[in-house]
């Protein structure tokens, strides 16, 4: 069983940016960092090398053009091969939020060796 948190659609008023609306709705401070991993492969790799102290956690989104499942977990995540280290799967366009102290502690792996698999992240 996996826990996928779908971010709700937002109705924006005139001057508000999507990020400011999301920030208000989940209580994010002005301190955040963003990035992406544009070449997720079939071996577990760190989401990022960026060192950032999170106060809330990390949102990870799989690119809408991905053609294979991305698994998220610890350094031993194995894309569903072993019960103890399978990780959490997300498919194209899905997002996952979870509490983490630093985005560089999160690992990703693609379920198949397909070039061009991408994820994006927001640490708060």
pLDDT score recorded for residue 22: 53
Contact between 59 and 96 (Cβ < 8 Å): yes
The pLDDT, as a whole number, for residue 85 is 79
pLDDT digits (tens, 9 = 90+) for 60-98: 999 999 999 999 999 999 887 877 778 999 999 999 998
Give the tens place of pLDDT for each residue, 15-64: 555 555 555 555 555 588 788 888 898 999 999 988 899 888 899 999 99
* Domains of the chain with CATH codes: 31-123 (2.60.120)
- The model carries a pTM of 0.72
Distance between CA 56 and CA 29 in Å, rounded? Answer: 9
pLDDT of res. 15? 55
**Cα–Cα distance measured from residue 40 to residue 65, given in angstroms and rounded to the nearest whole number:** 13
């Amino acid at each position: 069983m996996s826990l996928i948190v779908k971010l709700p659609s937002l109705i924006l008023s005139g001057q508000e940016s999507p990020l400011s609306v999301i920030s208000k709705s989940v209580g994010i401070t002005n301190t955040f960092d963003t990035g992406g991993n544009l070449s997720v492969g079939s071996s577990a790799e760190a989401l990022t090398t960026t060192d950032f102290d999170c106060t809330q956690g990390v949102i990870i989104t799989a690119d809408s053009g991905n053609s294979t499942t991305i698994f998220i977990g610890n350094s031993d995540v194995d894309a569903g091969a072993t019960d103890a280290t399978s990780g959490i799967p997300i498919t194209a366009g899905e997002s996952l939020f979870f509490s983490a102290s630093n985005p560089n502690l999160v690992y990703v792996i693609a379920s198949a060796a397909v070039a061009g698999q991408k994820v994006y992240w927001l640490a708060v």
